[in-house]
Chains A and B, each alone.
Chain A
């Protein structure tokens, strides 16, 4: 099994620009999650998908953030009009829905720096 992959690994952008990140989950995993981690903190949940349906969004996910998973496989996270406060590591995780509870496996993350 290849793990969760994310692209790009690093992104530097200027304030006000739009950015898009991609996440490819573990093959056949039907759940996909996005988290944000700022320096010195634990990850915070942003949103999750089951197949192509976005089932939960955190209040952290402002109107400038949008996530999609159009075919139930890879997902994209777009941030419009970036702000310096958006600088963080964006982590993607995937899991396979099973009886009981499923385990989330994380990708390497995309580190965003907004200048």
Chain B
């Protein structure tokens, strides 16, 4: 079985500042990792994914994430945020051979002008 822990429920930052949203996972098998974003009253949009290969993954809207197997982490980063990045961000894991995604509880990113 897999589990995901998003270490911060809320992250407030100022516009144009850098941000890191933390995600740790546990699994007894190899995993695939995902970050999704959810804007108010909408479904989830895929930001980026790690399947294999390079541990640094680049996604949409200037986001990137780094897979660290030894620390079982997959933190999401953006060097300069915009007001439009205000949303809920979910880290998800899928175990090898499984189909379902297991999500963390989410991190609410709030951008202050």
Contact = CB atoms under 8 A, between A and B. Distances in A.
B100 A106 contact: no
Contacts of B106: 40-42
Contacts of A42: 4, 90, 92, 103-106
A103 B47 CA distance: 11
Contacts of A111: 41
Interface residues of A, number: 27
B105 A41 contact: yes
Contacts of A105: 46
Query: What's the interface size class on B, roughly?
Result: 20 to 34
A109 B99 contact: no
A40 B105 contact: yes
B43 A91 contact: yes
Contact of B49 (A93, A103, A106, A108): A103
Given A100-B51, A101-B94, A108 B43 contact: yes
Nearest to A109: B43
Contacts of A108: 42-43
19 contacts: A4-B43, A31-B99, A33-B99, A33-B101, A41-B105, A42-B90, A42-B103, A58-B100, A93-B44, A100-B52, A101-B32, A101-B51, A103-B34, A103-B46, A103-B49, A105-B46, A106-B36, A106-B45, A111-B41
